Amino acid sequence: MDIDLILRVYPFFIEAAWVTIQLSVLTTILGLACGALGAAARMSRLAVFRWIGAAYVSVFRGTPALIQVFILYFGGPQIGIQLDSFAAGTIALGVNIGAYMTETIRGAIVSVDKGQTEASRTLGMSRWKTMRYVILPQAMRMMIRPLGVNINALIKGTALVAPISVVELTYTAQRFIGSTYKPFEMFLLAGLLYMVIIYVAGQGIAWLDRRARIT
Amino acid sequence: MGLDFTVVPSYFGVLLMGAGWTIAITVAAGLLSFFGGIFFAVVALYGHWAIRLPFRLFAWLFMGTPLLLQLFLIYFGLIQIGIDLPAFVAGVIGLGLHFAVYNSELIQASILAVDKGQYEGARTLGLSRLQTLRYIVVPQAVRAVVPPMGNNMIALLKDSALVSVIGVMELTLAAQQAISRTYRPFEFYLAAAACYYVINLALEAGLRRLERRFQASR
């Protein structure tokens, strides 16, 4: 192992790790927004919305995320959407993970006992109030862990913007493998930084989960 | 520059061949991930600690890092130690190993989830250790592992698009070739996405049948 080389190049990897962190945070926010909207659509009373929600999940989960990134970044300009690679990558990945989060959020809401809805409705609460004060508080607690699984996958998924030249960890590793011919060292450097990011995110999610527990 | 899908049909053959390669890679890497997963699980559960430890480290590294990064490591790493494999083989090894690690975790969990009383009962009835595994534990573990492993296969199909980055000729790279000649990225990536979607539907239908078969034998 070439320690000298690692010491020389690691500042570039630290900088790239910040980009990966930014990508991860923005993708998570966008994914949660898409997931909440998607879940609402999937459970709507209107068949049109249910259909749109189902199509969203099916299409974005049924095709590779890499292709979705390429369509937006390379194909976007053809339909008048001109984005830089960071924005295109973030949006494509966020909408992609949103399809997975839709199912996570919906699953948590559906898993709340049906009797709760019936009881609240019988007590005269509106559909919206039932959702807001009875179902969601319980569902939120249950969705933290599975959303954590989505976020874990999403952090690794940010590597998919390397092919469109966003200078994040994987792109940086690839560039230095090309210039130094030290694939193992570069893999370890980038890999350890990914694992630190994933570890910290995991700790944050575990903390949220503990706080949300009612015992 | 508007959209013009009329250019797509003339590259139908290119896309079809790409789709064929995508299926070939998925099947090859799927088999490798299946048998590799069993091997890793056996080592992790029953291996000597001196063998178990490096495997644990390997699994930890592979589960905590992106597949694309691993593909770069395998493709360029093998070249560096003097093994110049065709991109296709490197891609299959990378995808296969990546998912073997995930499959191994599933297999370990499903074997450990089989109630301990089942072991004890079988051993008390005079079955050997191997017989207990073969006739009691494995059949139950297999039923539990089929659905999540099926999900891994679906993920593998979609992640096979990543090997285009190390130059493996498959659907995504086929689309890129058509794009480099026509400058129509939107149309061709969309066409490629449609192909993936169809292959994905077929794979899902096949997996559902497999699941039903394993459930029926309960």
Model confidence band, residue B62 (pLDDT cutoffs 50, 70, 90)? very high
> Is the CB of B196 less than 8 angstroms away from the CB of A74?
no
pLDDT at A1: 75
Answer yes or no: do A183 and B68 touch at CB < 8 A.
Answer: no
Give the model's pLDDT for residue A215: 59
Inform me whether the pLDDT recorded for B217 exceeds 70: no
Q: Residue B102: pLDDT above 70?
A: yes
CA dist B177 to B2, B20, B169, Å?
20, 16, 10
Task: Give the DSSP H or E segment for A195.
Answer: helix A183-212
Neighboring chain A residues of B162 at a CB cutoff of 8 Å: 64, 66, 160
Statement: residue B218 has pLDDT above 60: no
Find the Cα–Cα–Cα–Cα dihedral A37, A149, B203, B12, rounded to 10°: 70
Q: Which residue of B has its CA nearest to A186?
A: B73
Higher pLDDT, B120 or A51: A51
The residue-averaged pLDDT of B84-101 equals 93
Which domains are delineated in chain B? Answer: 5-216 (1.10.3720.10)
Interatomic CA distance for residues A78 and B3, integer angstroms: 7
- Chain-chain contact of A75 with B64 (C-beta, under 8 angstroms): no
Mean pLDDT calculated for residue range B11-25 = 94
CB B171 within 8 A of CB B19: yes
B19 pLDDT exceeds 90?
yes
Q: What is the pLDDT of residue B119?
A: 83
Are A78 and B2 inside 8 Å of each other by CB? yes
DSSP code for B114: S
**Chain B contacts of A163, Cβ < 8 Å?**
68, 165
Predicted confidence pLDDT, tens digits, chain A (215 residues): 778 888 889 999 999 999 999 999 999 999 999 999 999 999 999 999 999 999 999 999 999 999 999 999 999 999 999 999 999 999 999 999 999 999 999 999 999 988 888 999 999 899 889 989 999 999 999 999 999 999 999 999 999 999 999 999 999 999 999 888 888 889 999 999 999 999 999 999 999 999 987 65
In sequence order, which residues have a C-beta less than 8 Å from that of residue A205 and are 6 or more positions away? A144, A145, A147, A148, A151
What's the rounded Cα separation, in Å, for the pair A142 and B157? 30
Nearest C-alpha in B relative to A181: B80
Most confident of A180-184, B164-168, B214-218: B164-168
Q: Do B72 and A163 touch (CB under 8 A)?
A: no
Q: Using CA of residue A119, residue A122, residue A123, residue A124, what is the dihedral sign?
A: positive
User: How confident is residue B115, by pLDDT bands cut at 50, 70 and 90?
Assistant: confident
Where does the pLDDT of residue B201 fall: very low under 50, low under 70, confident under 90, or very high at 90 and above? very high
Rounded Cα–Cα distance for residues A193 and A169 (Å):
8
What b/e sequence results for A144-158 when a residue is b if at least 16 CB atoms lie within 10 Å of its CB, and e otherwise?
A: bebbbebbbebbbbb
Given pLDDT bands bounded at 50, 70 and 90, which one contains residue B77?
Answer: confident
Q: Looking at CA atoms only, how far is residue B120 from chain A in angstroms?
A: 34
CA-to-CA dists, residue A104 to A109, A128, A149, A208, B9, angstroms: 9, 20, 10, 17, 38
What ipTM was predicted for this assembly?
A: 0.90
- Are B190 and A79 a contacting pair at CB < 8 A? no
Q: Which residues contact residue A209 at a Cβ distance below 8 angstroms, ignoring those fewer than 6 apart?
A: A144, A145, A148
> With 90 as the cut, is the pLDDT of residue B130 above it?
no
- Average pLDDT on B129-136 reads 87
Q: What pLDDT is attached to residue B137?
A: 86
Is the C-alpha dihedral spanning A33, A39, A45, A49 positive or negative? positive
Residues 138-177 of B with CB under 8 A from A: 158-162, 164-165, 172
Torsion, Cα of B3, B4, B9, B11 (10° steps): -70
User: Where is pLDDT greater, at B130 or A154?
Assistant: A154
Taking the CA of residue B195 and the nearest CA in chain A, the distance in Å comes to 9
| A194: closest CA of chain B, how far (Å) | 6
Q: Which two tokens mark A62? A: 């049924």
Residues of chain A neighbouring B186 (CB-CB closer than 8 A): 71, 74-76, 78-79
Give the type of residue at A120: S
CB contact at 8 A, A213 and A137: no
Residue A174 to residue B61, Cβ atoms within 8 A: no
Chain A residue with CA closest to B201: the answer is A62
Cβ-contact B213, B39 below 8 angstroms: no
Q: Show the domains of chain A with their CATH numbers.
A: 3-212 (1.10.3720.10)
Q: Yes or no: say if B165 and B126 are a contact pair by the CB < 8 Å rule.
A: no
What are the φ and ψ backbone dihedral angles of A168, each rounded to 5 degrees? -110, -165
